[in-house]
Structure 1
Amino acid sequence: MSKQRDFVLRTIEERGVRFVRLWFTDVSGTLKSVAIAPAEVEGAFGEGIGFDGSAIEGLTRAYESDLLAVPDPSTFQLLPWRSQDQPSARMFCEIRTPNGEPAIADPRNVLKRTLERAAELGFSFYTHPEMEFYLLRSKELGPEGPIPVDRAGYFDNVPGGTAHDFRRDAVNMLEDLGISVEFSHHEGGPGQNEIDLRYADALTTADNIMTFRTVVKEVAIAQGVHATFMPKPLANQPGSGMHTHLSLFEGDTNAFYDPAAKYQLSQTGRRFVAGLLRHAPEITAVTNQYINSYKRLWGGDEAPSFVSWGHNNSSALVRIPMYKPNKGGAARVEYRAIDCAVNPYLGFSVLLAAGLKGIEEEYELPPEAENNVWALSDGERRAMGFDPLPSSLDHALAVMERSELVAETLGEQVFAYFLRDKRREVARYRSQVTPYELSSMLDTV
């Protein structure tokens, strides 16, 4: 038995762990959990825990429903929000078929496949997400919609305020789970906060994002407030994104760093950015998977709506930051469209695949956006080649459906299910009569 498995079994015994939760996600990124007794953990490592995969959204078809959840011992952590009298732990799982093969529709496996393809090219992929979310007084709506916990703004210090206490408790809990936090602060909207996770390999980061969202919800419940990762919960306030910094390494060397190049971005980095830009419209349905996502993208407040790149340009889709000039390990690019409601395993997969395509096909990086892209006229944007991102989920799905890159990256089963599921969401949305329609038309038409 491996040292990691030995450590898990020993810790369970020494700490008196009563329940071990096995975690994985469905295709939309909803966290799934099954609790097993400590005595079952050793067997789960060897044989997995059987479950009906057809009952999990997009995971498998009814006629091949038997699947196994096999815990990954490297992801073992005690859950700090559970009672110390009856401690619980969690592990993320690999989903396998009864013959031991990785399940092709397991989102975590989709990312692992994409990372293996990067490894074949000599690269490892690192990510650093900036997690934005709103804190609301409750799920109850006021006359103008959700009620935020405060009226503070960007970087505001609110001593003793709900958000201040919330961030402190959330960061402490994340650190207890082994998830390193780089920054935390109040964001631009009332009740809006940001917590930035430290750089890690993409698989670890995706696991951390799933844990992060759970921690934020748990802390909110404990403090009597409601946390939401909805991309645009307040109509006249900034949306919540997940600006994500990306980098490729070749061994210990940052492949994006060239001290002699403009912005110190290497040719590999430039081609990676070119891949992100060329394929951005077709991956947007994955990185921004809900109808509400497009109200953030097209709602102003620095959300990127057009395919462009720039240095220190917050209106661009891809930004080339230089926080630490001449420090090779810090070279990165920032993709600004993605939001916190993404399935991180699938989102990171399509971002990596798009960048690798740019490297493999030697894409040329187009001219950068030096001005505020939002402030340009439609004619000026067209002349500069700044094409729009999809303006709705329906539009994004139509573009994605024609994408060989997304189909190859997700695999046939996930690709087909994602399209079907999101089209159902569009159909349900279209069938509704909204309060806006009633208030604007009921008495006048």
Structure 2
Amino acid sequence: MPDYTAEDVLRKCDELNVRFVHLQFSDILGVTKNVAIPVDQVEKALDGQLLFDGSSIHGFVRIEESDMLLKADPATFAVFPWKANDKGGSTARLICDVLNPDGTPFDGCPRTCLKRVLAEASEMGYTMYAGPEAEFFLFHLDEDGRPTTRTHDQGSYFDLSPVDLGEAARRDMVLALEEMGFEVEASHHEVAPGQHEIDFMYADALKTADNIATFRLVVRTIAMRHNFHATFMPKP
């Protein structure tokens, strides 16, 4: 992904006809949350001036301390491929740090915690890189669109179609990831029935953490479009 500046983001929003931007952040359990804003509010988000209610997020603050701020990181700007030019406009996302009302970093923000540890490592002369091996399972949905306990196939390691029934979904996941700036190295069926793996290029720890959050969103979204439910549980 390019290292966009705030000015780059504003220009790209105009060039790509972005109408809405999802401001994403994580709770202390690693669950991705978001606030969707019209594009004319993006500059405020980039300046760290966008308020949200933190009292409803696990591990954040109490109701009487609910006002918190989101500060968008311009380097994380990307357009959702499945929402490009949707109804006359595109939808983008920015990953955010959570701030206290006075603009100081919020200690409970996982991204801020990682930044703090990386800064400590840097002072010791270290730079941390991470390369995940991202795996997931695909399950069938029932007639009401709810996940079942039936895996979508009975394939095994490195199987291919017609045994690997997730090939088309996995292909669309890879294409979406590439459109969002990922360098995908490989994808294949894993050992267990319904289990898949998509490998992408390693990066510094902060970028990899952002990439994992993006990866999970992309996989779940594309799986749903193929009438599957994706889970990242190790042994569901």
Q: TM-score, normalised by structure 2?
A: 0.91
Structure-1 residue corresponding to 2:158:
155
Aligned equivalents of 1:104 and 1:52: distance in 2? 16
For residue 132 of structure 1, report the CA deviation from its aligned partner. 1.2
Whole-Å separation in 2 of the counterparts to 1:207 and 1:224: 26
Task: Give 1:221-232 correspondences, 5 Å limit.
Answer: 221-232=224-235
List runs of 5+ in structure 2 lacking aligned partners: none
Cα 1:182–1:139 shift into 2, 3 Å: farther
Q: Trace 1:61-80 onto structure 2 (pairs within 5 A).
A: 61-80=62-81
What's 2:206 paired with? 203
Are 2:184 and 1:181 equivalent residues in the alignment?
yes
In the TM superposition, residue 165 of structure 1 has moved relative to its aligned partner by 1.0
Given that residues 23 and 94 in structure 2 are in contact (C-alpha distance below 8 angstroms), is that contact kept between their aligned partners in structure 1? yes
Secondary structure of 2:122's aligned partner: helix
User: Are residue 45 (structure 1) and residue 46 (structure 2) matched?
Assistant: yes
Partner residue, 1:4 = 5
Q: How does 1:245-284 map to 2 (within 5 A)?
A: none
RCO higher in structure (CA 8 A, sep ≥6): 2
8 Å contact kept, 1:152–1:158: no
The 1-side partners of 2:192 and 2:48 are apart by 48
> Which residue matches 2:89?
86
TM-superposed CA distance for 1:202, in Å, is 0.7
Partner residue in 2 for 1:101? 104
More deviation, 106-115/178-187: 178-187
- Equivalent residue for 1:252? none
Q: Which has the larger share of helix?
A: 1
CA distance in structure 2 between the aligned counterparts of 1:151 and 1:198, rounded to whole angstroms? 29
- SS at structure 2 position matched to 1:18: strand
SS of the residue corresponding to residue 68 of structure 2 reads strand
Return the structure number with greater strand share. Answer: 2
Long gaps (5+) in structure 1 = 234-445
Residue in 2 aligned with 1:271? none
Residue type of the partner of 1:22? L
Q: How does 1:293-442 map to 2 (within 5 A)?
A: none
SS at match of 1:29: coil
Q: Per-residue deviation at 1:231?
A: 2.1
Using the TM superposition, give the Cα deviation of residue 69 of structure 1 relative to its aligned residue in structure 2, in angstroms.
Answer: 0.4
**In the alignment, is residue 28 of structure 1 matched against residue 54 of structure 2?**
no
Q: Cα deviation per residue 1:414-444 (whole Å; 9 max; x = unaligned)? A: xxxxxxxxxxxxxxxxxxxxxxxxxxxxxxx
Contact 2:22 2:35 in 1 (8 A): yes
Q: Percent identity?
A: 47
- How high is the TM-score relative to the length of structure 1? 0.49
Determine the C-alpha separation between the residues in 1 that align with 2:30 and 2:234.
15
